[in-house]
Amino acid sequence: MNFDAITIRDIARELHLSVSTVSKALRDSYEISEKTKKLVMEFAQKHNYRPNPMAQSLKKGHSKSIGIVVSSIDNQFFSQVINGMESEAYSQGYNVIITQSHESYDLEVQNVGHLIHRAIDGLLISIATETADVEHLRRLQQQGLPIVFFDRVSTEIETHKVIVDNLGGAYQATTHLLDSGYKNIAHITSSVTSSVTKQRLEGYVNALVERGIEVKERYIKYCLHGGLNLDELEQAVDELLASEPRPDAILTASDRITTSTMTLLHRKNIRIPQDVALVGFSNTVLADVLNPSLTSVHQPAFEIGRKATEMLLSIINSKRPVTEFENVILPTELFIRSSSASKHK
Amino acid sequence: MNFDAITIRDIARELHLSVSTVSKALRDSYEISEKTKKLVMEFAQKHNYRPNPMAQSLKKGHSKSIGIVVSSIDNQFFSQVINGMESEAYSQGYNVIITQSHESYDLEVQNVGHLIHRAIDGLLISIATETADVEHLRRLQQQGLPIVFFDRVSTEIETHKVIVDNLGGAYQATTHLLDSGYKNIAHITSSVTSSVTKQRLEGYVNALVERGIEVKERYIKYCLHGGLNLDELEQAVDELLASEPRPDAILTASDRITTSTMTLLHRKNIRIPQDVALVGFSNTVLADVLNPSLTSVHQPAFEIGRKATEMLLSIINSKRPVTEFENVILPTELFIRSSSASKHK
DNA sequence: AGCGTCAACTCAAACGTTTGCGTAAAAATT
DNA sequence: AATTTTTACGCAAACGTTTGAGTTGACGCT
């Protein structure tokens, strides 16, 4: 069904011009006289002519839409990122098509396939925690699909990447816990394979090492599904609470893990921060009104999305193949609240 | 750029068949012999052939994508709704294209225009709080665009609608507050024009009237921007706190208003529920761990999205014009937590 | 007058499919 | 054996646009 009944053909017929003249007039070609251009444009304007995007896409070979793959849209961090993407894409006349991997490798592959099938002009992707192999992406890139990674990037593929200072954020959070008098700091994080996990882990380790504190393997828990699977997380929390000496603080490495951990601690009647302090990466707007208010490492989510999209569009619009890639690292911000209140007083 | 280099033409050439034979074989036409079909299909399979969606769209006149307009994706309720939509659409081979109105009428009109321009096959929309006039939608519907409303619907346009029992939810919440001993119950809601506002207001009023409690106009505050504009909301809260007698409870009518009100009360050092109880419509997963835990009216957001999409696709796929429209009303659920703890003990 | 130049336009092919119609050969019917 | 019917395929137009290659007529130059 077509809701813009009027086509370039209609205009041509009406104005006694050829289809190509109308097309060129509309595209402001030098081949067409000012008079005719004006005539055509005014007619088009008046009749609310819109070029059929599908015909244009077919002809031009691009679809003016970009694909997005995130783990879950129902997540404050990602919805804010997408917000930024939608904003930038929209302002440049592009649509975004969003898909969710739910942290599953299979779904990710399937989604990417679906997007390609939909003829996207570029891909913005934060790879699923489950994904270890990125061959499916590499192949696409080699075939010429512009890809920009954000958040969870792959070291194996060279392209633009937008991440935050994960190492710094985790380091800062851990140091803050140490400064507040916590000694036995545990770390709950996502899949080992993820770039984000590695960097945050490194920040955590660095902070401990710097203070001469032993890094205990049993204090580090990996959740393959990034907190989506509550059972998995609960097991991690239980194990931490059962270890000797029991950790007096936990650093959680992602939005979902942070909020879910908080929920679990509540259910178990573990007091925060008296029994165990909590600091986590999170973008929830509710950090202030949580019980207790949550010390969080906040990421500039909107800006991540905006920047990643800007870079993707720059590749898409580039005349010559892009070979120099940029690695943008945005700063995180530590918001200190009650969940990590100082032990000293 | 095309990443699936292989076209129906390539297959035809390779197999010494005509383009139409290949096309028909692929579509399993009765005109083609089993042998040839098998040959073609296997070749297509082997070379990973994908029909070019743009060519198909152009030919068939539909794009296999549906447009979504919500106020903001960065909102637990809407992101859950979209989750449901994406899920249903995807399973039927459709994409969703998401746009945000940010509660602005102008943006809504612009977005809808953009979507139409993109040749969507149908529209899922929750109208912006600012929107009073729905002519732009009516026109599209008359031109044959299938539309399904969800959440914020228009009474002026006849089509499928999916909402929740707003009246019941507000009634139940208000009654709960009354049962807990609160007498002066205020109500902060969105724009007067919104269907949701009207229904929730009615539930609130009904509950009060039923108990013989006077409905005070000064206890009812409207926020035109649905809580997106914090100043507007703060003014409403301030006015409520200053009114005599001061309300001892507030019923908030949307996710954003609820969480923002909670934040504001915190900032003002108003204790919940001791100074003022709070019950709100909200889909946050953090209700349990808020300070205090939040009594909330929860909406089946995923199901709203899923159902709305199912209905839209049924219109799209219907052979004959649909004239009988359904009005689906899903139940809400009241989760009682501490923010409305009983006054009696 | 004969020539080239240029402006302003038209033609027609192309993008990758789908589909109604035409047709040759094979099969079935007389 | 002559015919109709069926089967299996090819042809070509169409969807709406873009674009390089003509075409036409007006104009200026020698």
**pLDDT tens digits along B167-222:** 999 999 999 999 999 999 999 999 998 999 999 999 999 999 999 999 999 999 99
**Which residues in 14-33 of chain A line strand D, with CB less than 7 A from it?**
19-20, 23-24, 26-27, 31
Q: Given pLDDT bands bounded at 50, 70 and 90, which one contains residue B95?
A: confident
Residue B1: predicted pLDDT: 42
Helices (H), chain B: 8-15, 19-26, 34-46, 53-60, 76-91, 105-117, 135-142, 166-179, 195-210, 230-242, 255-267, 301-316
Q: Given pLDDT bands bounded at 50, 70 and 90, which one contains residue B119?
A: confident
Residue B345: predicted pLDDT: 58
Q: Which of residues 285-314 of A touch B (CB under 8 A)?
A: 285-286, 288-293
Backbone angles phi and psi of A47, in degrees to 5: -95, 10
The answer on pLDDT for B334 being more than 60 is yes
Separation of first and last alpha carbons in chain B? 70
CA angle A145-A147-A152, nearest 5°? 150
* CATH architecture assignment, domain A166-298+333-340: 3-Layer(aba) Sandwich (3.40)
Residue A95: predicted pLDDT: 86
Of the residues B92, B112, B286, B317, the best mutation for testing chain A's interface (the one with the most A CB atoms within 10 Å of its CB) is B286
Q: Given pLDDT bands bounded at 50, 70 and 90, which one contains residue B2?
A: very low
Residue A1: predicted pLDDT: 41
> Which string of DSSP letters, residue by residue, matches B68-131?
EEES-SSSHHHHHHHHHHHHHHHHTT-EEEEEE-TT-HHHHHHHHHHHHHTT-SEEEE---TT-
Q: Given pLDDT bands bounded at 50, 70 and 90, which one contains residue B291?
A: very high
In this structure, which topology does domain A63-164+301-330 adopt according to CATH?
A: Rossmann fold (3.40.50)
Residue B180: predicted pLDDT: 97
The CB density around residue A237, as the number of other CB atoms within 10 Å, is 24
**pLDDT tens digits along A146-175:** 999 999 999 999 999 999 999 999 999 999
Residue A2: predicted pLDDT: 44
> Which string of DSSP letters, residue by residue, matches A178-245?
HHTT---EEEEES-TT-HHHHHHHHHHHHHHHHTTPPPPGGGEEE-TTTTSSHHHHHHHHHHHHHSSS
In this structure, which topology does domain B63-163+301-330 adopt according to CATH?
A: Rossmann fold (3.40.50)
- Check CB contact of A90 with chain B, cutoff 8 Å: yes
Of the residues A6, A49, A54, the best mutation for testing chain B's interface (the one with the most B CB atoms within 10 Å of its CB) is A54
Structure tokens that stand for B52 in this block: 């070019």
Taking Cα atoms as reference points, which of B24, B282, B13, B74 lies closest to residue A76?
Answer: B74
**pLDDT tens digits along B230-257:** 999 999 999 999 999 999 999 999 999 9
**pLDDT tens digits along A67-122:** 999 999 889 999 999 999 999 998 998 888 888 898 999 999 988 987 887 778 99
Contact at 8 Å (CB) between A281 and A304?
A: no
Q: Average pLDDT, stretch B57-74?
A: 90
For nucleotide D19, the protein residue with its alpha carbon nearest to C1' is: A20
For tokens 């109208």, the residue is B127
Q: Which of residues 135-154 of B touch A (CB under 8 A)?
A: 140, 143-145
- Distance from the Cα of A211 to chain B's closest Cα (Å) equals 33
- Check CB contact of B342 with chain A, cutoff 8 Å: no
**Taking CB atoms and an 8 Å limit, are A73 and B58 in contact across chains?**
no
Q: Is the CB of B268 under 7 A from strand C?
A: no
Tell me if B63-163+301-330 shares its fold with B166-298+333-340: yes
Q: Which of residues 58-77 of B touch A (CB under 8 A)?
A: 58, 61-63, 65, 72-76
- The domain spans of chain A are 8-51, 63-164+301-330, 166-298+333-340
CA distance B158 to B149: 10
CA distance A1 to B143: 9
The most distant pair of C-alpha atoms in chain B lies apart, rounded to whole Å, by 88
**DSSP SS3 for B262:** helix
Considering only the beta carbons, identify the residue of A53, A75, A286 that sits closest to B117: A53
Residue B228: predicted pLDDT: 83
**Taking CB atoms and an 8 Å limit, are B86 and A95 in contact across chains?**
no
Residue A144: predicted pLDDT: 84
Contact at 8 Å (CB) between A208 and A179?
A: no
**Taking CB atoms and an 8 Å limit, are B79 and A97 in contact across chains?**
no
Helices (H), B243-300: 255-267
Q: Given pLDDT bands bounded at 50, 70 and 90, which one contains residue B224?
A: confident
* Percentage of the residues of chain A whose pLDDT score is greater than 70: 98
Q: Average pLDDT, stretch B36-47?
A: 94
**pLDDT tens digits along A201-259:** 999 999 999 999 999 999 999 998 888 889 999 999 999 999 999 999 999 999 999 99
Amino acid letter, residue A209: V
- Distance from the Cα of B335 to chain A's closest Cα (Å) equals 16
Residue B3: predicted pLDDT: 53
Q: Is the CB of A292 under 7 A from strand D?
A: no
Peptide bond into A245 cis (omega under 30): yes
**DSSP SS3 for B327:** strand
**pLDDT tens digits along B256-273:** 999 999 999 999 999 999
**Which residues in 54-113 of chain A line strand C, with CB less than 7 A from it?**
55, 58-59, 61
CA distance A301 to A283: 8
Residue A312: predicted pLDDT: 97
Nucleotide at minimal C1' distance from the A31 CA: C8
Q: Given pLDDT bands bounded at 50, 70 and 90, which one contains residue A3?
A: low
Chain A hits for B291, Cβ within 8 Å: 289-293
CA distance B233 to B239: 10
> What letter does residue A343 receive in the DSSP assignment?
S
CA distance A76 to A284: 6
Residue B321: predicted pLDDT: 81
Contact at 8 Å (CB) between B253 and B170?
A: yes
Contact at 8 Å (CB) between A154 and A196?
A: no
Q: How many CB pairs under 8 A join A and B?
A: 142
Which of A238-242, A329-333, B61-65, B245-249 bottoms out in mean pLDDT, i.e. has the lowest?
B61-65
Tell me which nucleotides of strand C come within 7 A of a protein CB.
7-22
* Percentage of the residues of chain A whose pLDDT score is greater than 90: 77
Taking Cα atoms as reference points, which of B279, B32, B271 lies closest to residue B176?
Answer: B279
Q: Is the CB of A345 under 7 A from strand C?
A: no
Q: Average pLDDT, stretch B59-81?
A: 91
